[in-house]
Amino acid sequence: ISLLPLQYDLSASTFSPDGRVFQVEYAMKAVENSSTAIGIRCKDGVVFGVEKLVLSKLYEEGSNKRIFNIDRHVGMAVAGLLADARSLSEVSREEASNFRSNYGHDIPLKHLADRVAMYVHAYTLYSAVRPFGCSFILGSYDEDDGPQLYMVDPSGISHGYWGCAIGKAKQAAKTEIEKLQMKEMTCRELVKEVAKIIYIVHDEVKDKAFELELSWVGEVTKGRHELVPKDIKEEAEKYAKVSNCPSDENLDKVCPSSCYICP
């Protein structure tokens, strides 16, 4: 096994002696450097949560959104190079639109995920281009097929999930997600849990300010993918903050002044 990439990592069209394509692995590293995004599928819908790091106080609030609408019934949450993700969201939109134009109905999410994954995979075959440096989670809700959740990574693989996480804190997020009984929860309950998980995995020391982006699609939105309404989002954030509050009267833990939860 070659531990050093040597000259096998210069292009996506080269295998290493131990059968790895290093460029694709490096693309996945780019995703791991980005902040976390999670998607969870419940009984009657799908909820996305993104920890959007705010690098400057001068940024307008709500700029550089990381959750996109692909079609009325499909949403996409991304992690990794945002410009690459935007380009892929355009590709997904075209796929969904062409499908509707040809076949007269909404694109099934599995098919959309397969098509976009195939596109992402194509960029891992040639030396003239580089792989996409982003992973994304697709979610949709349909009366007949119910809620669906798929994740695509830079290698072009897509899997269906009940809950998944991408980005720097994906391991911690996955641990929290596994604790949930999502198959029995409704979207309204899940929104609060998703907000809580994002607050849990956010690293206050390394990354300071962040904006929480929340979106959902399900029976509660009549099958349309939308950002969670302001009042429900505020309630979810409050729940998340209270759950993560380090102060505890019983254990005589005082509210630390350096805590970011209560301003």
Partner 1 sequence: MDSHHSYSQVKGVSTGVSSLFIVSYVSSKTINKLIQVHDRIFCCIAGSLADAQAVTKMAKFQLSFHSIQMESPPLVKAAASIMRELCYNNKEELQAGFITAGWDRKKGPQIYVVSLGGMLLSQPYTIGGSGSTYIYGYVDAKFKPDMSLEEATQFSTNALALAMGRDNVSGGVVHLVVITEAEVKHVVVPGNKLPKFHDE
**Chain positions contacting partner 1, by CB under 8 A:** 101-105, 108, 111, 144
Residue number, 15 or 103, with CB nearest to partner 1:
103
Rounded least distance, CB 94 to partner 1, Å: 16
Shortest distance in whole angstroms from residue 14 CB to partner 1: 31
On whether the CB atoms of residues 73 and 140 are closer than 8 A, the answer is yes
Cβ proximity to partner 1: between 144 and 184 the closer is 144
CA pair distance 135, 118, nearest whole angstrom: 13
Least distance between partner 1 and beta carbon 95 (Å) = 12
Residue closer to partner 1, measured from CB, 22 or 99:
99
Asked if 158 and 150 touch (Cβ cutoff 8 Å), the reply is yes
CA proximity to 142, closest of 216, 218, 70: 218
Nearest CB to partner 1, comparing residues 145 and 204: 145
Residue 22 is classified by DSSP as H
Least separation in angstroms between residue 101's CB and partner 1 is: 8
How far apart, in whole angstroms, are the C-alpha atoms of residue 117 and residue 82? 17
Least separation in angstroms between CB 109 and partner 1: 12
- Distances 185 to 139, 162, 217 between C-alpha atoms, Å: 16, 12, 14
Q: How many helices (H) and strands (E) does the chain have?
A: 6, 10
Is residue 64 left, alpha or beta, with left meaning phi > 0 and alpha meaning psi from -120 to 50?
A: left
Which DSSP state fits 246? -
Nearest CB to partner 1, comparing residues 5 and 223:
223
CB of 186 to partner 1, least distance (A): 24
**Nearer of residues 5 and 108 to partner 1, judged by Cβ:** 108
